A and B are shown apart, each in its own frame.
Chain A
């Protein structure tokens, strides 16, 4: 028997959770690279879930059937409610920039000429597919907000946004550029360059992970952006 045949023979028991650890590890490694075995695993896994459901308890104890005590639920919910977020009676009011952003009035993101074309395209593509997610992040009650030049820096998990309103257009031949300072770093790194919308609303999703950063800043730079700031930052916030 080939290695593949021998492993394929064990995929059903693996899906069921009936292999000793050493054998399970072997099947698992093989599943990552073998499409045929993976197909077998994928086709059997729903059946295993079904086996679990065959033990499902009843809602009420008719004919002596198994049923969980209602006291169990109150025990669990007491702990959960004590730790839950306070209930919001009304959704938080949206800042002005957010109402504008909801119309997808996103800032034009211009390329950083110092970056390769590919990198730039990737950033812009990511920007587009993330628009919906961005709005959700900005409106999320658990996002962290810090006042920033004409607006806020908003963090939701690893994602990081700069949202501003009433941004004046930069002087001719200039753009705004975001800078990030990684935790423990001595110098800022160049991030995106951007222009405000005609309405003055600006929403920039930074590609960096918020969790790795200590600070964010903005400065006015020559078109195409700079590798090091060439002017004093107009806004700076520690995260």
Chain B
């Protein structure tokens, strides 16, 4: 079990000190991600507060696995909900019950930090990075991206897939692009 999972067990027992440690560890990810999606510091703080208080009020929502990946998905969904508060949500939360091998995720993203990932993203071909960022931060579907950029859908799919694969490989240190 990793540190965050252990802290979450203590949060379940209403331990404020454990919660504070989690906040210190993850607020930069949550706030930064919300700010990137919303481009509004005030709204990003609101989302950050909502995400952390949701965790405090309902720690059982986290059902194990990689905490950083989980809190990032929660934050992105919340921020995208704010962006299109009157529109339909693009994709529901990834169900945590999917039988996913988490150990893989642990190995690749054990020591992620903003600077290292930004550097890795910089090394992707620009069109791949753009497709990924439009989808993730912009909340655009692959069809939206194809329509807005005038690029065939098949090409958009390939760019997303190749880009994610390459990013993974760069972070694993398998290849240098």
Could you tell me which A residues sit within 8 Å of B by CB distance? 9-21, 24, 28, 31-32, 38, 41-59, 66-69, 72-73, 75-77, 79-81, 83-85, 87, 140-142
Return B133 CB to nearest CB of chain A, in Å.
7
From the candidates A42, A59, A141, name the one contacting B100 in the complex (CB within 8 A).
A42
Query: Which residues of chain A are within 8 angstroms of B78 by Cβ–Cβ distance?
Result: none
Q: Answer whether residue B28 sits at the interface, using C-beta atoms and an 8 A cutoff.
A: yes
Nearest-neighbor residue (CB-CB) of A81 within chain B: B16
Nearest-neighbor residue (CB-CB) of B154 within chain A: A9
Instruction: Scan B105-146; emit 1 where CB is below 8 A from any A CB, else 0.
Output: 100110011100110110000000000110111011111010
Q: Is the CB of A51 within 8 A of B168?
A: no
Q: Is the interface of A mostly helix, strand, loop or mixed?
A: helix
Query: Which residues of chain B are within 8 angstroms of A19 by Cβ–Cβ distance?
Result: 90-91, 141-142
Q: Is the CB of B68 within 8 A of A20?
A: no
Query: Which residues of chain B are within 8 angstroms of A45 by Cβ–Cβ distance?
Result: 69, 100, 105
Q: Is the CB of A56 within 8 A of B105?
A: no
Q: Is the CB of B31 within 8 A of A66?
A: yes
Could you tell me which B residues sit within 8 Å of A by CB distance? 13-17, 19-20, 23, 27-29, 31-33, 35-36, 41, 44-45, 48-49, 52-53, 56, 66, 68-69, 72-73, 75-77, 88-92, 94-95, 98-101, 104-105, 108-109, 112-114, 117-118, 120-121, 132-133, 135-137, 139-143, 145, 157, 160-161, 164-165, 167-168, 171
Q: Is the CB of B52 within 8 A of A13?
A: no
Q: Is the CB of A47 within 8 A of B168?
A: yes
Q: Is the interface of B mostly helix, strand, loop or mixed?
A: helix
Return A42 CB to nearest CB of chain B, in Å.
5
A160, B102: Cα distance in complex, Å: 30
Query: Which residues of chain A are within 8 angstroms of B113 by Cβ–Cβ distance?
Result: 53, 56
A21, B16: Cα distance in complex, Å: 37
Q: Is the CB of A72 within 8 A of B49?
A: yes
Q: Is the CB of B164 within 8 A of A84?
A: no
Q: Is the CB of A51 within 8 A of B91?
A: no
Known: A18-B145, A77-B20. A53 touches B68 (CB 8 A): yes
Query: Which residues of chain B are within 8 angstroms of A83 by Cβ–Cβ distance?
Result: 14, 56
Query: Which residues of chain B are within 8 angstroms of A85 by Cβ–Cβ distance?
Result: 13-16
A77, B20: Cα distance in complex, Å: 7
Query: Which residues of chain B are within 8 angstroms of A47 by Cβ–Cβ distance?
Result: 108, 164-165, 167-168, 171
A75, B91: Cα distance in complex, Å: 31
Q: Is the CB of A21 within 8 A of B109?
A: no
The 5 A-B residue pairs whose C-beta atoms are closest, nearest first, are A56-B114, A18-B135, A57-B32, A52-B72, A84-B16
Return A145 CB to nearest CB of chain B, in Å.
15
A43, B109: Cα distance in complex, Å: 11
Q: Is the CB of B167 within 8 A of A49?
A: no
Q: Is the CB of B35 within 8 A of A46?
A: no
Query: Which residues of chain A are within 8 angstroms of B44 by Cβ–Cβ distance?
Result: 68
From the candidates A11, A21, A53, A77, name the one contacting B88 in the complex (CB within 8 A).
A21
